[in-house]
Amino acid sequence: MTLPRLRVGLLATHPIQYYVPWYRLLAQQVDLTVYYCQQLTPYEQAVGFGGAFAWDVPLFDGYQHRFLVNQAREPNVSTFFGCETPEIGPLIAEGKFDAFIVHGWAIKSFWQAIFACWRTPTPVLVRGDSHLLATRGQGRQALKYPLYRWFIPRFDGYLVVGERSRQYLRHYGVRPERMFFVPHTVENERFAVHANTIHATRPEMRRAWDLPADAVVYLYAGKCIAEKCPNDFSRAVATAARVQPRVWGLVVGDGPLRAQMQATAEQQGWPLRFVGFLNQTEMPRAYGVSDALVLPSTSETWGLVVNEAMASGLPAFVSDRVGCAPDLILPEQTGHLFPCGNVDS
């Protein structure tokens, strides 16, 4: 006797390249429909990246999806009121879902779905990567605690991405038996295969980016914005190179800080190369020419570039404020931790 497949709905702000493999795999196990609040244009996608682009990997293969009508006054995927999709309520009421998943509670559309689940009732599961190290004022924290302590334990289940997200949920009263480990992942096999292929052409690829063949190359991969602390990376590379001249830095990414970073590096003669934004299919080249990843962020809920780097065979030097640190960084095995902002360290 074949049991009927579970019917599961999921609400996301917009297509995110890192989440699609999970949706695709989940759709093999259940009858899944992913609802998106907004489809970003190449220009909307470019916020923080430095230029318009579209992701160059398939975003919709292997699972059912539907775009909702975003009725927000100023549609965006970054603010609470940027996504307003009232049609999700009737869809949940009529869909007879066995479970419905939301990616947190930080936008209005998620609450429209949550309230619809509570009314029906439909079991609602939440997946997010918030952690307790996020910078907040004491006054805001004092106001936030009783509110979060009231609503967070009301969900039916919690898809936990890592240790710091588990600590966050326990802090707000979630019972351990309602937590299910659903870690942040990337397409490990794709990155591993590319890493093996690229290794044979590494000297040529380094020449293309004007990196010495015998250099020890540290990689920064991310937006050039203040909270990711790219200037700490530049200064650390410059400091290390004074002790060991083989040290070089490779900056992959764009954003408002890039021009000044590059100008400073050129003026000071720092051993840094800037190659700008690389799309998903191009990123294995950056990992292939590098020896280690550095992620110095002051506010990083996870840090999926660490997953990509490790799938490509690289260790990672990670700030102690990066969410993935307890799960992925085993000191002297998979990388090292350093105090955020401590360039000398």
Q: Give residue-wise pLDDT tens across range 66-118.
A: 999 999 999 999 999 999 999 999 999 999 999 999 999 999 999 999 999 99
- Residues near 94 by Cβ (< 8 Å), separated by ≥ 6? none
Exposed, middle or buried by CB within 10 Å (0-12, 13-18, 19+), for 178? middle
Pair of tokens at residue 117: 């689940």
Residue predicted with more confidence, 135 or 343: 343
- Let me know: does 250 contact 211? Beta carbons within 8 Å: yes
CA distance 297 to 319: 6
Q: Tell whether the model's pLDDT for residue 142 goes beyond 70.
A: yes
Pair of tokens at residue 278: 């690389």
% of the chain residues with pLDDT over 90: 81
Q: Give residue-wise pLDDT tens across range 246-259.
A: 999 999 999 999 99
Longest CA–CA separation in the chain, Å:
72
* pTM as predicted: 0.92
Amino acid identity of residue 118, one-letter, is: W
Q: Give residue-wise pLDDT tens across range 145-158.
A: 999 999 999 999 99
Q: Return the pLDDT at 197.
A: 84
Q: What is the DSSP string of 57-118?
A: S-SSTTSEEEEPP---SS--SSSGGG---TTHHHHHHHH--SEEEES-SSSHHHHHHHHHHH
CA distance 32 to 249: 43
